[in-house]
Structure 1
Amino acid sequence: MEACKNAPQPAPQLGVVGRAGSTESFQLSRWAPSAKAGEFVEHFWSVHWDLADGDTHDSTVITFPVVHLTHEWGTDGSRHGYPMPATLVHGVVDTVFRTTLQRSGSVVGARFHPGGFAARFGRDVSAYTGRVVPVDDELFGPAFTVDAERERAGRCLDDAIADHHREPDATYRSLRRLLDGIRDDHAVRRVEQLMERSPWSTRTTQRVFQRYVGVTPKWVLCRYRLQRAALDIETRSAIDLADLAVRHGWYDQAHFSHDFRTMLGCAPGEYANTYRA
């Protein structure tokens, strides 16, 4: 973890809006899970900020179809409606994740693989979609605590997730293969293409996505396309938005602009003027 703390941060970054211009506002680190936790967790991460009194930083993330488990503390009083410190479950954010950082604070989190939280804990993830809730006593037990120091907090979360007797089930393994494939293959843009790759019927695929991922296959495909389009806008010095829209699977620029504005609250051109590196 220490090496990851000191590594230079890539910028811009897929899903993190305006990362290139925010490197002085907060420190973001990522590191790999242990082998056993890694059956369910993609990576651990931490973020720390220490802002002058009265200063704020608005952070926006075009979220992935994943659940996060976080331990959070700081001098900013409350976050997500809960007093600090708190250990929280963040369901899939079906719009974009926005938060305003102020004063000083830290978060250590586990980003689960899509479906990983459901497979590890046996819970229906759709119950968490669009919500942030405190960890309940049944998740790890009433004696579960997290150390208030970033590196030790990360180890606490890793140990707790790794301490299980639940093997990844066959549905989760098949879902992981399906989602990894559509994430990496940019040619998969329509639900019909996803269903052609699915090992299940259309109805069963929908049910699996609802329980394990918390959102629909259509939502997942649109989110991956939107993330890639936003990253293209940030990284290219000049870009034809009409070409970009078609290249990422929208019917035309008007449909792309509508989806982009609905999700991020601004037009693609405005986004380019604000965040282009």
Structure 2
Amino acid sequence: MPTNPNPNPSTSLGTKATPASSPPLPSLGIINFQQGGHKFQLCRYAPAEDVAFFVRHYWVVRWDLVGKEPYTQHVIPNPCVNLVVEPDRTAIFGPGKEKYGHHLEGQGSVFGVKFKPGGFYPFVKENVSSMLDNPLSIRDVFDTDPRSLEAQVFNHSDDRRNIRLVESMIRSKLPAQDEQVLVVNQIVDYIYGQPDITKVDAICEHFQMNIRTLQRLFDQYVGVSPKWVIKIARIQNAAETTDGNDTHNWAKLSMDLGYHDQSHFIKDFKSILGQTPEEYVLGKRVK
């Protein structure tokens, strides 16, 4: 369950973030974040300075539901590639197109690396869009056996030790810094910082970029279109707003997010979360 750029100052080991149950840590796409914090612990760590050009942060999720009901935590997709270390499922995953859930049962943990938007492309020099339905093996990218990495990570509960291990693996294949990664991050940060942006034309105008150039850049480096990033940023903003508020004015929220009508907002919300805003809020209350 990944997200957010540089949550802590970079150090050689990474700095521990506050647990998921603590209010200062933003949800960053994790649905019903405060509720989920009672089911699992989430920590995020900043990368070392030389790796930080490519990596947003490391993330670790731990849960202990022994004797309790299983829990599925849903996450809104984001424009980032994640390297996920999980027993028998370790791989590198491209951005998703709709919300996804992680089933938590018994006791366990997952270790992840969230690359910055565009930050993974320099490692492979292949369009990230090709990864949408085709996760990559860490063997093919980092010359590391996934089962061996899993054994090393899950034989230790020391996050800092595991960060050193994975960061060393990444550093061994560290590519030259690519200025286009900076451009991509400026654009994505702008989109997330301007929730009322509705059209790709506004991005082109702000960054003085041809629309086809922008689309090719995102296909190559990000893996999803700028139009999709605009949509997902608005829906994440809407979901986080509802999570922190028990009363909702959907007409006002849709206008604040730049929608011309409430029905369009509801349609987009449902296309990502599989529920209308009302259903989403009702589901929160009954859990």
TM-score class normalised by the smaller sequence = 0.7 to 0.9
Q: Structure 1's 165 and 215: CA in aligned 2 closer, same or farther, altered over 3 A?
A: closer
- The match for 2:234 among 210, 225, 230 is 225
Where does residue 43 of structure 1 map in the other structure? 57
Q: Comparing 232-241 with 164-173, which one deviates more in the overlay?
A: 164-173
Where does residue 251 of structure 2 map in the other structure? 242
Q: Say which structure, 1 or 2, has more relative contact order (CA 8 Å, 6+ apart).
A: 1
Q: Structure 1's 3 and 222: CA in aligned 2 closer, same or farther, altered over 3 A?
A: closer
1:215 paired with 2:224, answer yes
- Once the 2 structures are TM-superposed, how far is the Cα of residue 99 of structure 1 from its aligned partner? 2.3
One-letter amino acid of the structure 2 residue matched with residue 68 of structure 1 = N
- The match for 1:161 among 145, 149, 170 is 170
Where does residue 266 of structure 1 map in the other structure? 275
Find the aligned partners of 1:182 and 1:197 in 2 and give their Cα distance. Answer: 11
- The match for 1:24 among 10, 20, 38 is 38
One-letter amino acid of the structure 1 residue matched with residue 255 of structure 2 = V
Find the aligned partners of 1:211 and 1:183 in 2 and give their Cα distance. Answer: 20
1:109 paired with 2:112, answer yes
Where does residue 34 of structure 1 map in the other structure? 48
One-letter amino acid of the structure 1 residue matched with residue 143 of structure 2 = G
Length, aligned pairs only = 265
Find the aligned partners of 1:8 and 1:19 in 2 and give their Cα distance. Answer: 8
Q: Does the CA-based 8 Å contact 1:40-1:120 persist in structure 2? A: no
- The match for 1:139 among 99, 116, 141 is 141
Find the aligned partners of 1:22 and 1:6 in 2 and give their Cα distance. Answer: 11
Find the aligned partners of 1:143 and 1:273 in 2 and give their Cα distance. Answer: 44
RMSD between aligned alpha carbons? 2.3
- Once the 2 structures are TM-superposed, how far is the Cα of residue 12 of structure 1 from its aligned partner? 6.4
- The match for 1:62 among 76, 99, 114 is 76
1:129 paired with 2:143, answer no
Q: Identity of aligned pairs, percent?
A: 30
Query: What are the Cα deviations for residues 152-176 of structure 1, in whole angstroms up to 9, with x where unaligned?
Result: 3322222222334522212222222
Q: Comparing 18-27 with 8-17, which one deviates more in the overlay?
A: 8-17
Find the aligned partners of 1:19 and 1:131 in 2 and give their Cα distance. Answer: 28
TM-score relative to the length of structure 2: 0.84
Find the aligned partners of 2:84 and 2:145 in 1 and give their Cα distance. Answer: 17
TM-score relative to the length of structure 1: 0.87
One-letter amino acid of the structure 1 residue matched with residue 142 of structure 2 = F
Question: If each structure's strand is expressed as a fraction of its own residues, which one has the higher value?
Answer: 1
Moved >6 Å (runs of 4+): none
Secondary structure at the residue paired with 2:52?
A: helix
Where does residue 76 of structure 1 map in the other structure? none
Where does residue 81 of structure 1 map in the other structure? none
Find the aligned partners of 1:270 and 1:205 in 2 and give their Cα distance. Answer: 35
Q: Does the CA-based 8 Å contact 2:20-2:34 persist in structure 1? A: no
Secondary structure at the residue paired with 1:219?
A: helix
Q: Comparing 236-245 with 48-57, which one deviates more in the overlay?
A: 48-57
